[in-house]
Structure 1
Amino acid sequence: MNSTSPLMKMDTEKGLKHWPSWIGYMAVVWSLLYGAMHLYWLIRGEGYPFKNDSLGLFSALVTYLPARVGGIVFVILGLLGIGIGIAMQKSWGRMLPRWLFLTYAWVFAAALLLFIPDISLIAAMAYAFMFKFAFNWQMFNQIVCIIGALLWISTAVVYYRRTRNACEYCGRTEHDKPSLLLRWGRWITIIAALAPLPYALTRFAWALNIPLGVDAQFLRDFSNINPMANITEWVFGSVCIGGGILTLGLIQKWGEVFPRWFPFIGGKRVPILLAVIPASIVAIAVTAAGLVFTFSFFAVTFHLMPADDILLSSIGGAIGPMLFWVPWGITLGLATIAYYYRRRGRCLHCGNDHNA
């Protein structure tokens, strides 16, 4: 066993280094399996994951589709994904315009990221700081969909790079100029760091029993429902402030090199993925939840959904600060990409080292 483990490690590293050659097939397999699951739910009608009545206004947007319609849509998308995914890997796929493939990949990925998740993922992240952990079938399904979206995004990126004769691994060519994202990365990061402030300030005010933006009765009802409301508000507000500070690390020296006072790792370079992976996860969860909040805000404001008088009078303070969440998530995602581009260095495959 010990004599073969180095060989197994080398095979694993080789596979990871050659990810552009197999990522598209992973997207095809995902589409096949997930489409098959929806076909099962369509036929049997048991276990359909897009129904979570307990969330009410804060349910995922896909829940507004009838279960049968949703099942048919996903079966069709799965079938299309199999054909389009294989065509993107084969030379005969060039018979069709590349914009058709790219449009499908990006639209499918965006739908999986924005219309499937509800507020559960971001809530679970926040409650984890209070050592409260919750996980259910709906959340697992959302994670599966996010994985599928990331596979299709990666597939689209590789296909786009391949068809423009760029390096499939880094996307650079010999004559690339610095991208607009790098030039504006600093300002984008600052916006991402400031975006959660309205939500944090509202939560701090509620923790102090100040009905900022809401009816006093709304705040009393909220406290009655959640006996630990004050603690929850302090934690949620503090998490947002802490997240904003960490976001600034994407443009600060301490985001690239650990401060000297850090035990054991002080003065060492921050691994790129240590910043990129958590920031990307938060960006996805915040954007998806922000879309749900934004939809709920306008649906209640324009009386498209039923709501009592207290909620109607408090909608601005209760959900209004979350209108910043979509721009928060988007700018955090862009800031993360800019950070990665700035730090990635020379490509081991094409040899280019300029930022583009």
Structure 2
Amino acid sequence: MAAASWGASYAAVEATWAVTGTTVQWKEHSAYAPGVQLFLAALALLAAGACLAGTRTLAKAGRVAVATVLSVALAVFVVGTNGLPIYVVTMATLSGIESATGLAQVLLNTAGAVLLLLVALSYRRRLRGACPRCGWPHAGAADGPLAHPAASRAPGRTRAAVYLLMCGLLPWAGTKTIWTLGGDVLGVAGDDWQRASVAGASGPSKATASAGIDVTVLAATVGIFLLLGLLYVWGQVFPRWTLFLSGRRVPRLLPLIPAWLTGVPLAMYGVVLLVMAPLMAAGVLPGIKPDPPFTSSSGITWFAWFGGLAFGGLGIGLVVAARSYAARTRPICAGATATGSPK
């Protein structure tokens, strides 16, 4: 019902923006066309109808239609969450919001992606004969308390993969740290970088820069902290340094929601950069025109590649770690007895 309500509300907002000609930014100096907004409104209404239809017993054609609409809508609105991490960083550092309607659009897309994912997951479980709530095939009602498994760390292969992905942060973070400390790299002088980054920056950004710390590098360390929590036991049971929470179970969605919401957009953004940077270096795509403090197209291309490694590595790492965490912490309805593996 929540997903259907979101679909109707989303459609109303998008249609209103399209009719009134409201500018809704989707990237710097680019806005959604009214036709795209009307398409998104129609898709949201279709998704709302699919959510309602998915609760009923349908023939094969109906099940295929519901699954198709949910899949397409989920993919579209997941792509629409792409700017979420950037908005989070700018708001956390008090750097200001470039576009209020752009932020509203990203938040609406994010809410829709989350709700449609939950509906699609529940629908898939129901079709496979599993409990739509916990995903385990069992007899008995799908209500009442949930039984949680014992805390455990991620398998060795998962940890190794995540650590390898985290290494992608090193070239990007190292370059920005050198600039912040006044050094020169990629043809960019540290003093020029500091002047460009401090211009119009907020108090917190200036404060961290004066200490030789780039605010985006600091934000990446928060992502690393989240990654480690997803991999180890202290992400499932509050450790001793959390004082009054020590020993209590960590709510399952507390790390999963930020991991999914930041991991997926970062992964998409990073992959785009990793594809574009080599194509620009090879001349297949036109190089980016140097803009101060950059002095050459090659410098921007290298930095784009570093950014792809960093954002893609952190984003994919969060997705991999979150998937492992979700599997290791999946509960089962307490009044039921599992008869197989979760779906």
**Residue 230 of structure 1 is aligned with which of 209, 212, 220?**
209
Distance 1:116 1:272, change over 3 A: closer
Give the corresponding residue for 2:43.
Answer: 77
Q: 1:32 to 1:266 in 2, by over 3 A?
A: closer
* Preserved contact between residue 342 and residue 355 of structure 1 (Cα < 8 Å): no
* Inter-CA distance 37–295: structure 2 relative to 1 (3 Å threshold): farther
The yes-or-no answer on 1:275 pairing with 2:239 is: no
Which residue among 62, 75, 86 is the counterpart of 1:123?
A: 86
Determine whether 1:40 maps to 2:40: no
Using CA pairs under 8 Å that are at least 6 residues apart, name the structure with larger relative contact order, 1 or 2. 2
Structure 1 consecutive aligned stretches of length 4 or more whose deviation exceeds 6 Å = none
Q: Which has the higher mean CA deviation after the structures are superposed, 124-133 or 270-279?
A: 124-133
Shift of 1:322: 2.0
Q: Taking every aligned residue pair, what percent have the same amino acid on both sides?
A: 24
Residue correspondence of structure 1 range 213-224 to structure 2 within 5 A: 214-216=186-188, 220-224=191-195
Offset from partner CA, 1:210-233 (integer Å, 9 cap, x none):
333x2225x554333223493485
Give the aligned partner of residue 322 of structure 2: 336
Look up the equivalent residue of 2:195 and give its one-letter code: N
Q: Separation in 2 of the partners of 1:83 and 1:271?
A: 31
Report the equivalent of 1:346.
Answer: 332
Which of 156, 167, 171 lines up with 1:198 in the alignment?
A: 171
- Equivalences for residues 219-258 of structure 1 within 5 A: 220-227=191-198, 228=206, 230-231=209-210, 233-258=213-238
* Contact 2:24–2:105 (8 Å) recurs in 1: yes
Structure-2 residue corresponding to 1:163: 127
Query: CA 1:138 to 1:242, structure 2 compared with 1: closer, same or farther past 3 Å?
Result: closer
Larger relative helix fraction:
1
- 2 CA distance for matches of 1:289 and 1:239? 16
User: How many angstroms does 1:112 deviate by?
Assistant: 1.4
Q: How many residues align?
A: 312
Query: In structure 2, do the counterparts of structure 1 residues 312 and 306 end up closer, same or farther at CA, with 3 Å as the change threshold?
Result: closer
Unaligned runs of 5+ in 1: 1-24, 175-180
Distance in 2 between the 1:270 and 1:79 partners?
36
Q: Distance in 2 between matches of 1:161 and 1:149?
A: 18
Query: What is the Cα-based RMSD across aligned positions, in Å?
Result: 3.5
State whether residues 18 and 37 of structure 2, in contact with CA within 8 Å, keep that contact through their aligned partners in structure 1.
yes
Q: Residue type matched to 2:120 in 1? A: A
Matches within 5 A, 1:165-184: 165-173=129-137
1:49 maps onto 2:27 in alignment: no
| Partner residue of 1:320 out of 301, 305, 313 | 305
CA contact under 8 A between 2:18 and 2:38: conserved in structure 1? yes
| Change in CA separation of 1:98 and 1:330 when aligned onto 2, cut-off 3 Å | farther
- What amino acid is the match of 1:34? Y
Whole-angstrom CA distance in 2 between matches of 1:242 and 1:345? 27
Matched letter for residue 140 of structure 1:
A
Contact 1:189-1:248 at 8 Å conserved across structures: no
Question: Aligned match of 1:112 in 58, 77, 98?
Answer: 77
**How far is the alpha carbon of 1:291 from its aligned partner?**
5.4
Give the secondary structure class of the aligned counterpart of 1:200. helix
Deviations 1:110-131 (A, max 9, x none): 221224533xx32343345545
**AA aligned opposite 2:317:** T
Shift of 1:285: 4.2
Q: Is the 8 A contact 1:192 1:244 kept in 2?
A: no
Structure 2: gaps of 5 or more residues: 139-153, 199-205
CA distance in 2, matches of 1:313, 1:261: 47
Distance of 2:17 and 2:73 partners within structure 1: 20
Q: Distance in 2 between matches of 1:266 and 1:157?
A: 32
- Deviation of 1:160 after TM superposition, in Å, equals 0.6
Q: CA deviation at 1:314?
A: 1.3
Q: TM-score, with normalisation over the residues of structure 2?
A: 0.75
Stretch deviating more after TM superposition (136-145 or 106-115): 106-115
Could you tell me which residue of structure 2 aligns to residue 308 of structure 1?
A: 290
Whether the aligned pair in 2 keeps the contact of 1:109 and 1:149 (CA below 8 Å) is: yes
Q: How far apart, in 2, do the equivalents of 1:304 and 1:32 lie?
A: 42
- Counterpart Cα distance in 1 of 2:104 and 2:238: 34
Q: 1:156 to 1:200 in 2, by over 3 A?
A: same
Residues 83 and 266 from structure 1, CA distance in 2 versus in 1: closer, same or farther, beyond 3 angstroms?
Answer: closer
Paired residues of 1:259 and 1:266 also in contact (CA < 8 A):
yes
Paired AA for residue 301 in structure 2: G
Aligned-residue offset at 1:236: 2.3
Q: CA deviation at 1:108?
A: 1.8
